[in-house]
Structure 1
Amino acid sequence: MTSDVKEVKLDFDAECPSCGASVEFNPKTGKLSCPYCGYEVDIAKPEQEEQRSAQELDFYDAKNRGRFDWGVEKKTVICSECAAETIYDALQVADTCPYCGSHQVMEASTEETLAPNGVCTFEVTDKEAGESFHKWIRSRIFTPRQAKLSAKPDAFTGVYLPYWTFDSRTISYYSAQYGINRTVRDAEGETRIVTDWYSTSGVYQEFFDDELVSATRRYDRDMMRKIEPFRLTDNKGYRPEYVSGFLAERYSIGLDEGFEEAKSSIHNKIEQAIKSKVRFEHGADIVGHVSFSTTHDDITYKYLMLPIWLSSFKYKDKLYRFMVNGQTGRVGGSAPISPVRVGIAVLLSIAVIYMIYLFSQS
């Protein structure tokens, strides 16, 4: 074993007491199930109510706030079933032994990282994920008909990906300009629109609840956004049993960096909210030149593991990847595009615009 590889222990014994195979979390029953002998057992619930779901944690009290680089550190795990030694990326929390197929749930935190305090478990099975995929691809307007008929997803891989959620009470002090349009008639009798501009300022307050930020760099961010939202309130306090039978990954984007992303998203939402506020209060037609400063108070966070099905399909020798939300079945991904269908849509749009123009001139 090289000096830069750390030995870690398994955090959960996944062995079935009936037949010795590995038990895994069953999305349908919410229990641990053995796919071979049918053995099932409930996952023990915490005695204290506040431990049954993820609790809000004080942002400034958190330690180990930085990022955790993947691909740099490695760890070795001794399989409890076959005693094989496997080296994993240090980000991995759960995987399957490549030698005997047993499920391995490793330590979810280290001395350098925070531990997840919640998990939204899988509610959609891989079969249901396939059904959602077929509905999704049939709804793609610009996808060729043959692709819709022939697309068959490869085997689904269930993975729990790390996310941060942030709560923040915000106060924003703003200034803006707004315009009110009026119609004027010139000496020749022609009318035109004139905008009168005014200045305004004020205070805008809003509490942001569960602002969601992906904490992984390994997957396509745009694709991940397409499968949102998740039902974040339907979470459970983290237990290793919930991730048994799935891949799971700890965060590579740290708490501080995650909050910077959350603040950027919140900033954009506040800007739109201020524009709406000014437009409503002053009966404005246009709002522009908005500037504001925001303070964040009562900041809390949760570190959640969220469920996602990963798969792909081939069409004309090209690979298309997609994801399915493991809670809702919402699909996001890439699909083939027919240039003919796009061209027809463009021509129809031009025809509609031209008809509107002719109508307005009559």
Structure 2
Amino acid sequence: MSTQEAENVKQVKLDFDAECPSCSASIEFNPASGKLSCPYCGYESEIAIPEKEEEKVAQEMDFAMAEERGNFNWGVEKKTVICEACAAETIYDALQVADRCPYCGSNQVMEASAKNTLAPNGVCAFEITDKQAGENFQKWIRGRWFTPRAAKISAKPDSFKGVYLPYWTFDTKTSSRYSASYGKHRTVTDKDGKTQTVTDWYSTSGFYQEFIDDHLISATTRYDRNMMRKIEPFNLLNNKAYKPEYVAGFLSERYSIGLQDGWGQAKKEIHDHLHAQITSKIRWEKNADVVSSLRFSTTHDDITYKYLMLPIWLSSFRYKEKIFRFMVNGQTGQVGGNAPISPLRVTIAVILSLVTIAIIWYLFMSE
């Protein structure tokens, strides 16, 4: 994104008025209606949809043309924000780019772009409410077999916090030249009549191409990555070109993992994906049973990226003086998190498994 484009996004954010025209409270994005609404007087307003088709969704950005690619350790920095409604000064974590004034309740829509940072060019808006997130949590915890019954009954999520987290997506045309060995099994019988499986090995080489579309990389280091993976995937096709209205009333976070390091992580994951794809290709083409010693080199062409803000509900619950945190995908409602584990239930499961294995083994030997 050019400097001028970043300034344009910045100006759009600054021009957004989050004040309710009816009662002067702060209006918020409502996931249930997809509109801006006032939680106090019920006022609703449509979010303007651009007339041009290419302005409705986030556009792919040229990776080679990106001016700023570095990481930013925003978590240790602070900034002062002045509320336009009441002029109060508040100190925020520099990662936060949208919040509510603690004094008058007005929504604070901070610049998406800052010095030496890129601005988001797309957002996947919240589609489920905090109430729906709570209902999904209850279903999720009831399905935890190893969680104590008392925890399932008593677990009540604390108030939900809606957060937009930063993600990179990458598109690339990959071209890979490879070489490998593949084996075919056959059964042979020796002079004593015993059979055994032997493998005949062959060499192969070839060329493989694949277009990688919207490879997703988290751009934050503040949350448990394993937990975040549990709530994926997001519906990335249902994105919108960034508008401050979509983040009104929610927290948002700037990226701390920069574009360059994000691409580095994407390349590693794409390499693993290509390894699996090429292996499958060889097995299918050669009718092979096994593939070994696969080596390949890949070139990436036409690399593009998007900087998206994706919606997550955050909350926690307490059980036996311990706090358990969880997340809910703001689009799909998928839940991921930690739950208490009952040692007794785990022991029973292990015993039952061992008994089952013993019975199967006994029946097999009897036959």
TM-score normalised by length of structure 1: 0.94
1:50-91 per-residue CA deviation (whole Å, 9 max, x = no partner) reads 111100111101111111211343321111222110122222
> How far is 1:359 from its partner?
4.1
**Whole-angstrom CA distance in 2 between matches of 1:354 and 1:202:** 48
> How far is 1:354 from its partner?
3.2
* Aligned counterpart in structure 2 of residue 81 of structure 1, from 80, 85, 91: 85
Ranges of 4+ aligned residues in structure 1 off by more than 6 Å? none
* Aligned counterpart in structure 1 of residue 23 of structure 2, from 4, 10, 19: 19
Q: Which runs of 5+ in 1 are unaligned?
A: 1-7
1:187 is matched with 191
1:138 is matched with 142
**Whole-angstrom CA distance in 1 between matches of 2:141 and 2:169:** 31
1:216-231 equivalences under 5 Å are: 216-231=220-235
Q: Which moved more, 1:339-348 or 1:75-84?
A: 339-348
Letter in 2 for 1:93: V
**Whole-angstrom CA distance in 2 between matches of 1:286 and 1:345:** 35
1:337 is matched with 341
> How far is 1:344 from its partner?
2.1
Letter in 2 for 1:245: G
**Whole-angstrom CA distance in 2 between matches of 1:200 and 1:141:** 48
Letter in 2 for 1:15: E
1:314 is matched with 318
1:163 is matched with 167
User: Does residue 1:267 correspond to 2:271, yes or no?
Assistant: yes
> How far is 1:347 from its partner?
2.4
* Aligned counterpart in structure 2 of residue 112 of structure 1, from 116, 129, 132: 116
**Whole-angstrom CA distance in 2 between matches of 1:202 and 1:349:** 46
1:188-225 per-residue CA deviation (whole Å, 9 max, x = no partner) reads 22222222222211111111100000001111111111
> How far is 1:226 from its partner?
0.6
* Aligned counterpart in structure 2 of residue 69 of structure 1, from 43, 67, 73: 73
User: Does residue 1:39 correspond to 2:47, yes or no?
Assistant: no
Q: Which runs of 5+ in 2 are unaligned?
A: 1-9
1:3 is matched with none
Percent of aligned pairs with the same residue?
69
SS in 1 for 2:234: coil
1:246 is matched with 250
User: Does residue 1:305 correspond to 2:320, yes or no?
Assistant: no
> How far is 1:334 from its partner?
0.7
Q: How many residues align?
A: 355
1:153 is matched with 157
Q: What root-mean-square deviation, in Å, do the aligned CA atoms of Structure 1 and Structure 2 show?
A: 1.6
User: Does residue 1:48 correspond to 2:52, yes or no?
Assistant: yes
> How far is 1:173 from its partner?
1.1
TM-score normalised by length of structure 2: 0.93
Letter in 1 for 2:307: Y
SS in 2 for 1:264: helix
**Whole-angstrom CA distance in 1 between matches of 2:338 and 2:327:** 10
User: Does residue 1:202 correspond to 2:202, yes or no?
Assistant: no
2:259 is matched with 255
1:140-191 per-residue CA deviation (whole Å, 9 max, x = no partner) reads 1211122112111000000000000000110111111222112222232222
